[in-house]
Amino acid sequence: MTEDADRLASYKRYGGWNLIESWEKLAIVDNFKNYYEILKKYSLLREYQRNGYAVEKIIKHPKFESFSATDIYRLVRGKVDRINTVILTNEESEILNTKIVNMIHGCLEKPDMGITMPFPICNDLFRGIKTKTMMAVGMLSNAGKSRFMFKLIAYITLVLKEKVMVLLNEMTPEEMRFCLLTTVINNKEFQELHGITFNKKEKEIALGLYKDSKGEFIYREKDEWGDFTESVEDYTQRLCNESEEYNNVVKVAQWIEDETQGIIFAKDVKSAYDDKSLEFEIRKASLTQGIKYFFYDTLKSDMDGIGEWASFKATATKLSELTDPLDVFIYGSIQLSDDANYIPPDELTSSQIANAKQIKHVLHTLTLFKEIDKKDYKKYVYMTPNSDWGKPIPHELDENKRYYVAVVDKNRFGEKKKLLFEVDLNYNSWYEIGEIYRR
């Protein structure tokens, strides 16, 4: 309370600790759920008020005491929807061949670009990450679609300082943290910011394995029966003393915490990823937290229509339609069907999307990734620009590296290309290195 003068004054005015202690005596532990619901309700009202919405009428409502947080959200949304309906039903047709000169001058002041992506060619093709659009990226199962998504999330939050909401129905928040940490450790975009250049595999971090100066793993001491004889505290201290790698990982982790306070939000939606629940979470985060960038992993059909392609398309359509009125960007990772295993990476199309190829029509951009088999490396070359020669230069694929082809299958903002990414899933490093061509 003493950290803020106004807060401390309010605390004293209400009686300070004596009031809290009296409340403790009145509290019924078994009634915790109701206390929590009340707290949620008032927290929601506070956020609405912070964002300029007049909440006084809601508080004075005769049935206010019986309202839940969800009821309050519905009241606010109901008023907004009614206003929207009035506006829409009174809209006049717009004369399209007017205001064109103004549009040109407007683009001089503010070009029609979104925030930058960490991939230069993609950034040029899609005009950055634009609000009022929906982007989807498709890969085969276990090919790294969640990991690629986290490269974008880390860049948007840590480099560009924009708020992000992640909706999860496959990964857990704990897995998300491991992925985020690994991404920030190993990708050069973040190494330039935190100033620590080294590489560390996610698996080793998850298993608590760190090396000494000789490159040997430092293990916690055990007896002949396999029981630990060294306390966690002593083992941690030994790592601090003997492992530069451990100290670097801790430094990067602390840097992430310091840089991302209140900027990366996550919601596990495994138990409810129907269209209404997804819309509720996105609208709530947009309205109360001011979040503009949403990531959904993995895009699935409404729970009430599992296995139906029409339901899958309806979910994608609902999310795409939300982007314009809320002025937000939504990213959805998509799983490709097993048929894609038999398609060359550079020949992928939306026909290989699991459940519903038709969702391509409601998206603004769609990119499909697939790894190139090493035996096929000789079939391809990739081109990179060269400022000295003035034209792109062809390069061979390196047998010691892993490559993914990214086929831009839908792009409302320009041309479609086939790009090559250098990938290492152990370190979650993704680098766009050029355009790929068949020999």
**300-322 pLDDT tens trace:** 776 554 555 677 788 888 899 99
Residue 164 exposed, middle or buried by CB count within 10 Å (0-12, 13-18, 19+) = buried
Q: Which pLDDT value is given to residue 304?
A: 53
**26 backbone dihedrals φ, ψ, rounded to 5°:** -85, -15
Q: Which pLDDT value is given to residue 309?
A: 60
Q: Which residues of the chain fall short of a pLDDT of 70?
A: 78-98, 100, 103-105, 107-111, 302-309, 354-357, 387-390
Angle, to 10 degrees, between the axis of helix 309-326 and the axis of helix 275-284?
20
Length of the chain: 439
**DSSP E strands: which ranges in 186-270?**
264-268
CA distances from 355 to 25, 257, 352 (A): 56, 38, 9
**Structure token pair of residue 51:** 């964002």
How far apart are the C-alpha atoms of 78 and 94, rounded to whole Å? Answer: 27
Of the candidates 424, 395, 399, 321, the one whose C-alpha atom is nearest the C-alpha of residue 364 is 321
Residue 408 and residue 129 in contact, taking contact as beta carbons nearer than 8 Å? no
Angle, to 10 degrees, between the axis of helix 244-259 and the axis of helix 173-186?
110
Residue spans per domain, the chain: 5-89, 120-173+260-438
ω into 298 cis (within 30 of 0) = yes
Residue 397 and residue 382 in contact, taking contact as beta carbons nearer than 8 Å? yes
Please tell me the class of the 120-173+260-438 domain: alpha beta
Prediction pTM value: 0.76
Q: Which pLDDT value is given to residue 424?
A: 96
Place of tokens 């003997």: 242
DSSP code per residue over 378-416:
GGEEEEE--TTTSS-EEEPPPTTS-EEEEEEEEETTS--
Instruction: Give Cβ neighbours of residue 359 (< 8 Å, ≥ 6 apart).
Output: 136, 299, 312, 313, 316, 317, 334, 350, 353
How far apart are the C-alpha atoms of 12 and 315, rounded to whole Å? Answer: 51
Q: Which pLDDT value is given to residue 282?
A: 92
First to last CA, the chain: 68
Residue 91 is classified by DSSP as P
The CB density around residue 48, as the number of other CB atoms within 10 Å, is: 18
